[in-house]
Structure 1
Amino acid sequence: MSSREEIISQMSKREITKQLVISQLFLFSLAILISGVFLDFSSHWVNQWGFDYRKALLYGLAPAAFIIGIDFLLMKTLPEKYFDDGGINKKVFENQSVFMVVLMSAMVAISEEVLFRGVLQPILGYVGASLLFAFVHIRYVKKPVLFISVVYISFLLGFIYEQTQVLTYVILAHFLVDVTMGFIARSES
C-alpha cells in the first residue's frame, strides 16, 4: 500500500469530504482570480451560460452516456487493478447520502469546468487546457487505463466547449459522469 493510500485509509469520511470541498473551492477561486487578470471578467462570464434542451442532449447527456459506456466496457473487460485509484473515489462516496453524492459531483463538475474550460481553455487553447486537466489528476498518471480515460474525457469536454462556447453543457456532461460513478462507488461500499 502506498503512503497516499495509507493516509486515505486513515482519514474519516468527514475529513475526506472537507478536503474535497477545500480543493474545489481553491480551484473555483483560482478560476475567478485568473479570469480577473487575463480575461475581460464581466463580459467573459456573462457569455459563458446558456441552455437549450436539444444542445443539452447533444452536448451534455450524449457525451456523458458515451463516457460512462466506455468506462463500463473497460471495467467489464480489464482487470480490476487497472481501475484502482488508491481508494480515493470509494472513500469519498462510500456511506454518503444521495444528496451528498449529488452535491459533491456538482461541486467538482462546476469548479473544474469553470477553471479548465471557462478560464484556461480561452487562455491556453483546447490542447493546453485539456492536457493540464489530465495532469492535474495526478493520481492517475501511474495508472495507464485511468490516465488514458481522463485524457480522452478531458479532450471530449474541451471539444464540447469548443463547439458551444458555453460552460453549461460541459458542466452537465462532467456532472452526469461524476454522479453516475459516485453512485456506483457508493453502492459498492
Structure 2
Amino acid sequence: MKKFDIRKIRFRKVTVDQLSDRMLLLNLYMTQALTFIIGLIVVLLQGRNVIRLFELPRTWEFALWGGGLAIAVMIVNLGISRFVPDEAQDDGGINERMFRGRPIWHIAILSFIIGICEELLFRGAVQHAFGAYWTSILFAAIHVRYLRHWVPTGLVFSISYGLGWTMTHTGTIWTPIVAHFLIDFVMGSIIRLRREKA
C-alpha cells in the first residue's frame, strides 16, 4: 500500500475566472455551512440558547428596521456607484460571477442562507462577545475580496455596524437577517437583470 506524503500537497492561487460555476456555488455553500457551524458552536459555548436567539418577535417592528437599513444601504450604494470609479469598487468579479446567470428564485435562496449563516456567527455570536465595532472590523476582514480598495471595505464595515446597531436596538437577530437578506437579494437581482438587458 502506498504511503500518503503530506509534503506532496501543493497549493496554488486560483482566480475567480478559473472556477467553474458549479465549483463557485459549492464553495459558497460550504463556506456558509462552516460559518453556521462555527456560529452555532460559539453561541453554545457562550451558554446561550440558540432556539431563543432565533425566536420571532411578537411585533413587525424588526422588519421595518431591517427594511429601512436595507433601503439606506441601497441608496448609499447607488450614490457610490454613480460617483466612484468602477476600479475603486472592484471585488474581483465574485459577485458578478455568482449572480449574473442565476435565476431570481436561486438568488433569493442564496441571500436567505447567507443572511442566516453570517448573522448567526457575526451578530449572534461575535457581537455578543466583542460588541458591534470589533465585530464589524472582523466582518470587513472576512470579506477579503473587498480589502484591495478602501471604498468597498468602508462600505462593508458600515453595513456591518448598521446591522449590529439594529440588532441592539430591536433586541432580535431577525432585524439584521432581514436587512442582510434584502441587501444581498436586491444587489444580486440587479446584477442578474443588468446582464439580461446587456
TM above 0.5: yes
- Paired letter, 2:115: A
Indicate conservation of the 8 Å contact 1:48/1:165, yes or no.
no
Map of 1:1-189 to 2, 5 A cutoff?
7-40=15-48, 42=49, 45-51=51-57, 52-57=59-64, 59-189=65-195
Shift of 1:82: 1.5
Shift of 1:48: 3.9
Name whichever structure is richer in helix by fraction: 1
Indicate conservation of the 8 Å contact 2:36/2:121, yes or no.
yes
CA 1:47–1:94 in structure 2 vs 1: closer, same or farther (change >3 Å)? Answer: closer
CA 1:86–1:101 in structure 2 vs 1: closer, same or farther (change >3 Å)? Answer: same
> Secondary structure of 1:188's match?
helix
Shift of 1:47: 4.0
Unaligned runs of at least 5 residues, structure 2: 1-11
Give aligned-pair identity as a percent: 28
Tell me, in whole angstroms, the C-alpha distance in 1 between the residues paired with 2:42 and 2:152. 29
Shift of 1:22: 0.3
Tell me, in whole angstroms, the C-alpha distance in 2 between the residues paired with 1:54 and 1:157. 15
Tell me, in whole angstroms, the C-alpha distance in 1 between the residues paired with 2:55 and 2:150. 34
Structure with higher Rg: it is 2
Shift of 1:129: 1.4
Q: Deviations over 1:94-129 (max 9, x none)?
A: 111111111111111111101100111111122221
- Scaled by the length of structure 2, the TM-score of the pair is 0.87
- Scaled by the length of structure 1, the TM-score of the pair is 0.91
Tell me, in whole angstroms, the C-alpha distance in 1 between the residues paired with 2:15 and 2:132. 35
- Paired letter, 1:56: A
Shift of 1:54: 3.1
Shift of 1:165: 2.0
> Secondary structure of 2:15's match?
helix
Shift of 1:77: 1.1
Tell me, in whole angstroms, the C-alpha distance in 1 between the residues paired with 2:143 and 2:47. 25
